[in-house]
Structure 1
């Protein structure tokens, strides 16, 4: 830090302790350097969050106020309406699309929709998709080349951008976000998570986020620096990405008391390391997590990555981090199911203009990516869980671990809904779990058996705990799984709902 910066920051600290509210121009009287108000603001802006200071422009000056202490984020009715409206037809905003298009033009020295540029982006998209689906030891997804980053921005980014906002919105609704948040995005790429946070915060009032990022590839950092600062509102304080390999970064190089630590679609791309080694990376960085902070891990919804991610969550649970969501351990034990495949699904996004341009070719389906499916978990240090329900003593529910003893019988169960509808127009099919499963369990509701009493399962949210009464247990030998068949006499209710006698 330069001597001039040190003097200005020191002066700002002094004046803010003397006066809870003042104009930034006032500190000109306390410093030895001849600087304009804009120059002073540019100097202090990166430090405002740590200093606990809020700034609001007033003409050519800035009003300085001490920030209120961080509290639980509670969305107003208007903020909820704005978010719900966004998700009904989610799309990357026109402003952000333009910023990305301008970056492509700058990077390629051609118009972003030049046929040659589009063709090279198509090749990058196909190459990345091929690398992704190579599940063997040679799988290698890299962003060391410029067109690889452009391919990501065109194809994967729009979905991940909206997807992360779904998760943020859910976390806000359940009360684990704060009005002032310190965020670490591990493996930020071109800034997908910070851009999603920026977009989400544009619909909020009075909330602040201080964002740190880790990224290995120079091409991604270049894209980040060109795109993210242009889009982030004043409520977002950005720090220059830390250039480092995720597996080698030292905790002491990171800020303390991080409120939200994010690993979004990054751990699955680290080659040649075991689940135990991935857990070691997370637990090492968790040293910088606030006592009431959250670690969010997101991976693609395909079977290989989803199953591997579930194993990681159990490793972290065994290491002392408590699983907040989506898994529930209502019987008080630990999960022992091998090969657990579970994912969340949301409404499709609207394609970007760039995506539509790429699809103007002989194989348009290759370049349209709009469906949102993802696997995730949240862990914390404080033992807080999203669903805190525990099965009462002597409750008449069958454990999933005992399904073999109930084959071809009707039983009552309590479980978490762990998938969207995986069925077809004749049968609704849902992955369910009670934390004791030794084999996969599915709830099946044929369309001709749907009633008012059992239809709740079609509307319930991912991870929600349900009581299901009077279901028939069938064993599916081909899938080595159990099916719970709901009939017209079956009922489904949420935990705590009143029931008719």
Structure 2
């Protein structure tokens, strides 16, 4: 199709849509010189519908074009919540998406995706990536320049990253910081993990819209993106060709304005030799394109090194003027001083894909099954909004973690955030706690024989939730240089700010 014809259609659509609140796509034919079918015209206008604020409704062989209602806070319906809860109870990469990935492997290798030679090469790529991941310093050079590196990623890392991003999106929707129309920027999109997760999540929503822009450095990833993502995205998700650029070098003016959600998913840790300050500069530079009520989401793996670095980055961004929305909360209105904060969220394991099962048909199957859902993340914003609004009331009788050493071997009351899932074993539950003043790590310890109705809320509370904990014994763990708060049968746990737990 000639470029002149495309420009003519878009120009006409802009003019007519401003004159009329709605119109049929077939009416555009009256204004253009090109002889085109409805399908051909729709292919031309589809990438521009989000920016033009136009909704499309199928009516027989024609399409009705209608002005979109203004974007408002997304409030999930009961049906949307039900669909998502059902998905997360047994999360898996959909059969259609698994098939698209398998087809891409076949296309890329010119062999069947489950050919023994192909599977062996993917196994090698997975092991090579895992080996590189654990290296440090200049020897840690994670790259996706080779085709099998991308195939290894799609086979091993992709499924968990795909589901974990949907967990975060769902939580953001429930918290009221997503809109009915979202402009998203995914920095370091790889083969399109975040856009695919958004597309999957939006299939469980009703009429919400997302306009997705991506940045990616490697040609192999962009090739995989273009082969898989457009085929999976629905009409509610508008995709743009990925911008080929290094995240460190991209110019803000090359990106769209008023971005509602900016994502750095498992990418900043792969920037070799970058300091915390340099990573903060990358985020701050691109934050110039963030909407005033937009969010920046940074996700990293849950291992100690990456999780601790992530927390340091969030503090650096806070000191530079961005406000931390979640998961950290500053209930005492103080800055965080803990140097080694290892905190992560854990969700129910995903179901392995068929590709994982085929890779596991070997002497060491455990090396190729990746279903654990653990991740560290933070959300920062410009407007100072925080997920948890609770602040410790004046004269409240709670001990600060910064002074916890003064209460060794004594019973105290504390108010704090729950910053981990259960880290214990069958004999006791162990939870990471934080009140924003910690100088040493603090944990809650609940032996199984001490569980009561009054203290069991800690076993059900969500990551980042603020809890009031009463009558706990302070113990110092010299080996770990940390403090344990021992919950007894006389201890109670409640949600902060509530007179009584629901």
Partner of 2:287: 286
Pairs within 5 Å for 1:433-452: 433-452=434-453
Q: Aligned to 1:50, what secondary structure does the other structure show?
A: coil
Q: Does 1:215 align with 2:207?
A: no
Q: 2:402 aligns to what?
A: 401
**Could you list the per-position Cα deviations for residues 172-220 of structure 1 after superposition, in whole angstroms to 9, with x for gaps in the alignment?**
0000000000000000000000000000000001100000000000000
Counterpart CA distance in 1 for 2:319 and 2:175 is: 25
Tell me what 2:32 maps to. 31
1:11-52 deviations in whole A, cap 9, x for unaligned? Answer: 111211222111101011011222222221111111110000
Deviations 1:395-425 (CA, angstroms, capped at 9, x unpaired): 0000000011111110000000000000000
Equivalence for 1:17: 18
Structure 2: gaps of 5 or more residues? none
Q: CA deviation at 1:429?
A: 0.3
In 2, distance between residues paired with 1:458 and 1:427?
Answer: 11
For residues 468 and 266 of structure 1, the distance between their equivalents in structure 2, rounded to whole angstroms, comes to 37
Corresponding residue of 1:192:
193
Cα distance in 2 for residues equivalent to 1:291 and 1:4: 37
Q: CA deviation at 1:375?
A: 0.2
- TM-score (norm. length: structure 1): 0.99
Structure-2 residue corresponding to 1:383: 384
Which residue in 2 is equivalent to 1:67? 68
5 Å matches for 1:46-85?
46-85=47-86
Instruction: Tell me the secondary structure at the aligned position of residue 137 of structure 1.
Output: helix
2-side partners of 1:367 and 1:256: how far apart? Answer: 41
1:2 Cα deviation after fit: 3.1
Question: Which residue of structure 2 aligns with residue 482 of structure 1?
Answer: 483
Please say if residues 390 and 497 of structure 2, whose CA atoms lie closer than 8 Å, have aligned partners that are also in contact.
no
Matches for 1:74-153 after TM superposition, within 5 Å: 74-153=75-154
> In structure 2, what is the Cα distance between the partners aligned to 1:115 and 1:332?
59
Whether the 8 Å contact between 2:137 and 2:272 is mirrored in structure 1 is no
Corresponding position of 1:229: 230
C-alpha displacement of 1:134: 1.1
Separation in 2, partners of 1:40, 1:137: 51
Counterpart in the other structure of 1:310: 311
1:154-193 equivalence runs, <5 A: 154-193=155-194
The offset of 1:61, in angstroms, is 1.5
Equivalent in the alignment of 1:5: 6
Please give the alpha-carbon distance, in whole angstroms, between the structure 1 residues aligned to 2:245 and 2:416: 41
Where does 1:318-333 land on structure 2 (aligned, <5 Å)? 318-333=319-334
Q: Distance in 2 between matches of 1:499 and 1:126?
A: 51
Rounded to whole Å, the distance in 1 between the matches of 2:452 and 2:37 is 70
User: Secondary structure at the residue paired with 2:50?
Assistant: helix
CA contact under 8 A between 2:137 and 2:273: conserved in structure 1?
no
5 Å-filtered alignment, 1:323-472, equals: 323-472=324-473
**Distance in 2 between the 1:31 and 1:318 partners?**
55
Tell me the distance in 1 between the aligned counterparts of 2:340 and 2:466.
Answer: 21
> Partners of 1:364 and 1:5 in 2: how far apart?
52
Q: Structure 1: any 5+ residue segments left out of the alignment?
A: none
The Cα of 1:140 is off from its aligned counterpart by 1.3
8 Å Cα contact 2:202-2:208 kept in structure 1: yes
Secondary structure of the equivalent of 2:51? helix
Deviations 1:437-487 (A, max 9, x none): 000000000011000000000000000000000000011111111110000
Distance (whole Å) between structure 2 residues aligned to residue 130 and residue 119 of structure 1: 17
For 2:308 and 2:42, the matched residues in 1 are separated by 48
Q: CA RMSD in A?
A: 0.9
The aligned length equals 500
Cα distance in 2, alignment partners of residues 355 and 63 from structure 1: 43
Q: How many angstroms does 1:256 deviate by?
A: 0.1
For residue 495 of structure 1, report the CA deviation from its aligned partner: 1.5
Q: TM-score, normalised by structure 2?
A: 0.99
Q: Secondary structure at the match of 2:190?
A: coil
Task: For residue 181 of structure 1, give the secondary structure of its aligned residue in structure 2.
Answer: strand
Cα drift, residue 7 of structure 1: 2.0
SS of corresponding position for 1:49 = coil
Q: Please give the alpha-carbon distance, in whole angstroms, between the structure 1 residues aligned to 2:35 and 2:471.
A: 79
Distance 2:5 2:114 in 1: 45
Gap change, CA 1:499 and 1:83, over 3 Å in 2: closer
1-side partners of 2:377 and 2:154: how far apart? 22
Runs (4+) of structure 1 exceeding 6 A deviation are: none
1:352 positional shift: 0.2
Which residue matches 2:246? Answer: 245
Q: State how far apart, in whole Å, the 2-side matches of 1:406 and 1:137 are.
A: 44
Mapped to 2, the partners of 1:135 and 1:420 lie a distance apart of 27
Separation in 2, partners of 1:488, 1:86: 37
Q: Quick one: distance in 1 between partners of 2:454 and 2:331?
A: 23
